[in-house]
């Protein structure tokens, strides 16, 4: 099999979606080539050449490709594709924009959003918002595939460097023109690659209320997402949207706040490792797929969560430390505190809890964090009153 991988990038760095695509490609063949199309992106090609499994990188570097107009780059890809049995791109906006054009130019059927590979011509892909899995077999001589990146691990990037061949190629379809980029600038991690995502739904009631989630996100180093209802209501921009018609995410921890759990939303987040739902309606469908559920009014819960995190961070633990052990100890401490009516200085408590943490717990932080959330609910918020002494 000869396999071509379309490298997603921004002329500066390779997007992580490419690493997942390489892992999928490795299941199809041993001779993997990467194709980098852009402008002033030699460093991208060099970085792509260090991805494990890539045997050669082609670089097409020209001004027409500066802004990723697919009307131009599709011409190059279609030309390249004729020499390969499989052409793979991530099922991101990049791949979803580019591949249908290439498929039309080559007169082949695109195979979209595959989640596993059964053989060189047979693939599994989710349909009906992930409620069913279709087995798709293709008899096309060139298989144009987009890859659901959350279902394939990222390939490692430790070389050795594959050769990079620069081709003198340009293509201007004359169909489109770059006007401007209107980007949301954020210091937070990118939604699709963040390890923690906190998303808000219609229950947030306004864009201003999303600031509550942003503050929690900043404490946890998380990205902020949203349901389509929240986007449609104008609370947040549409690049926040998670779901069937938004972004597909699979973070270590997904916190859904004021989101009911419609199938179209679940389609974009149900592969998350740990799901925490905060909703005042105990019948909300989101609880059926959540690992930890907190039935509570979010306008009580989120400020409390923010306060608790602030307090926890004041001990100079990193978020991961806090969640691995410290939050549990706080619960123990709180029980003890209530029973003995004794107070400790923050410094003393820090020492005690650090020792106790080492002694008592050695479990993963995500489970503990989620557990902690449910415990907060269990203690009916009293824990936060107890914590406010500091
Ligand atoms: C073709 C198609 C594609 C779609 N694609 C997407 C998609 O990509 N992503 C997506 O998200 N949706 C998508 N949808 C829309 C989807 O069907 C739902 O309408 C949407 O997900 C609902 O968003 P929500 O959960 O925020 O709102 P709602 O369903 O209205 O739920 C709001 C929730 O907030 C809770 N709540 C309210 N107030 C509070 C409070 N004070 N405290 C705690 N909880 C509170 C309520 O109990 C409720 O459960 C799509 C629909 C279609 C037809």
Burial class of residue 316 in the structure, from the number of CB atoms within 10 Å of its CB (0-12 exposed, 13-18 middle, 19+ buried): exposed
* Of 310 and 181, more confident: 181
Higher-scoring residue by pLDDT: 171, 326: 171
Q: Which residue has the higher pLDDT, 110 or 310?
A: 110
The finding on whether 262 has its CB within 6 A of some atom of ligand 1 is: yes
User: What is d(CA 78, CA 228) in angstroms, rounded to the nearest whole number?
Assistant: 34
For residue 389, the model assigns a pLDDT of 27
Please tell me if the CB atom of residue 130 comes closer than 6 angstroms to any atom of ligand 1.
no
Which spans in the chain are helix H? 16-26, 42-48, 70-81, 93-106, 210-220, 228-232, 263-266, 286-289, 298-313, 319-321, 327-340, 346-360, 365-378, 382-387
Q: Is 134 left (phi over 0), alpha (psi -120 to 50) or beta?
A: beta
- 73-77 mean pLDDT: 95
Nearest to 240 by CA among 208, 201, 297: 201
- Assign 212 to helix, strand or coil: helix
Angle at 9 between CA 3 and CA 14, to 5 degrees: 75
Q: Is 209 in the pocket of ligand 1 (CB under 6 A)?
A: no
Instruction: Write down the pTM of the prediction.
Output: 0.74
Average pLDDT over residues 54-77: 94
Q: Is the CB of residue 243 below 6 angstroms from any atom belonging to ligand 1? A: yes
Ligand 1 mutation pick, 245, 283, 300, 302, max ligand atoms within 8 A of CB? 245
In this prediction, residue 314 carries a pLDDT of 57
The pLDDT > 90 percentage for the chain reads 59
* H or E element at residue 38: strand 31-38
pLDDT over 50 (residue 148): yes
**204 phi and psi angles, rounded to 5 deg:** -70, -25
pLDDT, one tens digit per residue, over 105-134 is 999 999 999 999 999 999 999 988 778 999
Ligand 1 contact via 241 beta carbon (within 6 Å):
yes
Indicate which residue's Cα is closest to atom 51 of ligand 1. Answer: 264
Q: Is the C-beta atom of 258 inside 6 A of ligand 1?
A: yes
**More confident of the two residues 334 and 179:** 179
Q: Is the peptide bond before 160 cis (omega within 30 degrees of 0)?
A: yes
Rounded CA separation 255/198 (Å): 5
The answer to which of 203-217, 290-304, 335-349 has the lowest mean pLDDT is: 335-349
Beta bridge partners of 38: 61
CA of 186 from ligand 1 middle (Å) equals 24
CA of 262 to the centre of ligand 1 (A): 6
Ligand 1 geometric centre to CA of 202 (Å) = 6
What SS3 state is found at 200?
A: strand
Residue 366 has pLDDT above 50, yes or no: no
**Does pLDDT of 369 surpass 90?**
no
How confident is the prediction for the chain on average, in pLDDT? 83
The verdict on the CB of residue 280 being under 6 Å from ligand 1 is yes
Tell me the best of 260, 267, 272, 302 to mutate to test the pocket of ligand 1, counting ligand atoms within 8 Å of each CB and taking the most. Answer: 260
CA of 268 to the centre of ligand 1 (A): 13
| Residue 331 burial (CB count, 10 A) | 17
Please give the distance, rounded to the nearest whole angstrom, from the Cα atom of residue 284 to the centre of ligand 1.
Answer: 10
Checking if the pLDDT of 103 tops 50, the result is yes
Ligand 1 center to residue 354 CA distance, Å? Answer: 41
Rounded Cα–Cα distance for residues 151 and 147 (Å): 8
Q: Is the CB of 125 under 6 A from ligand 1?
A: no
Contact 95, 89 (CB under 8 A): yes
Kindly give the distance from the C-alpha atom of residue 261 to the centroid of ligand 1, in angstroms, as a whole number.
6
- The tens digit of pLDDT for each residue in 158-186 reads 878 999 999 988 788 889 999 988 777 77
* Digit-coded pLDDT (tens) for 210-265: 999 999 999 888 999 999 999 999 999 999 999 999 999 998 889 999 999 999 99
Distance CA 308, CA 294 (A): 16
Strand 122-127 and strand 116-119: the pairing is: antiparallel
Residue-level pLDDT at 364? 44
């Amino acid at each position: 099999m000869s396999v071509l991988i379309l490298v997603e990038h921004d002329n500066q760095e390779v997007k992580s979606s490419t690493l997942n695509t390489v892992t999928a490609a490795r299941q199809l063949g041993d001779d993997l080539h990467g194709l980098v199309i852009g402008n002033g992106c030699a460093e991208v090609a060099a970085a792509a050449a260090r991805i494990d499994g890539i045997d050669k990188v082609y670089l097409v570097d020209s001004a027409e490709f500066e802004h990723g107009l697919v009307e131009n780059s599709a011409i190059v890809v279609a030309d390249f594709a004729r020499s390969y049995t499989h052409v793979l791109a991530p099922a991101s906006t990049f791949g979803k924009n580019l591949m249908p054009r290439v498929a039309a130019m080559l007169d082949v059927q695109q195979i979209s959003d595959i989640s596993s590979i059964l053989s060189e011509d047979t693939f599994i892909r989710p349909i009906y918002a992930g409620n069913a899995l279709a087995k798709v077999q293709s008899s096309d001589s060139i298989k144009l595939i987009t890859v659901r990146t959350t279902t394939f691990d990222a390939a490692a990037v430790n070389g050795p460097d594959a050769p990079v061949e620069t081709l003198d190629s340009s293509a201007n379809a004359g169909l489109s023109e770059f006007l401007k980029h209107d980007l949301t600038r954020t210091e937070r991690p990118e939604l699709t690659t963040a390890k923690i995502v906190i998303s808000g739904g219609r229950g947030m009631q306004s864009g201003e209320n999303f600031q509550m989630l942003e503050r929690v996100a900043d404490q946890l180093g998380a990205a902020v997402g949203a349901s389509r209802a929240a986007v449609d209501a104008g609370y947040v921009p549409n690049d926040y949207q998670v779901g069937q018609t938004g972004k597909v995410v699979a973070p270590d921890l997904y916190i859904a706040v004021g989101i009911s759990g419609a199938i179209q939303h679940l389609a974009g987040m149900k592969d998350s490792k740990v799901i925490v739902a905060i909703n005042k309606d105990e019948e909300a469908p989101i609880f059926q797929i959540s690992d930890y559920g907190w039935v509570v009014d979010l306008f009580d819960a989120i400020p409390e969560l923010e306060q608790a995190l602030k307090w926890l961070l004041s001990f100079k633990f990193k978020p991961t430390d806090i969640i691995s052990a410290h939050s549990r100890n706080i619960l123990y401490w709180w029980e003890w505190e209530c029973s003995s009516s004794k107070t400790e200085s923050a410094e003393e408590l820090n020492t005690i809890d650090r020792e106790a943490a080492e002694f008592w717990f050695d479990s993963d932080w995500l489970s503990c964090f989620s557990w902690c959330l449910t415990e907060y609910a269990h203690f009916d918020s009293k824990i936060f009153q107890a914590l406010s002494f500091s």
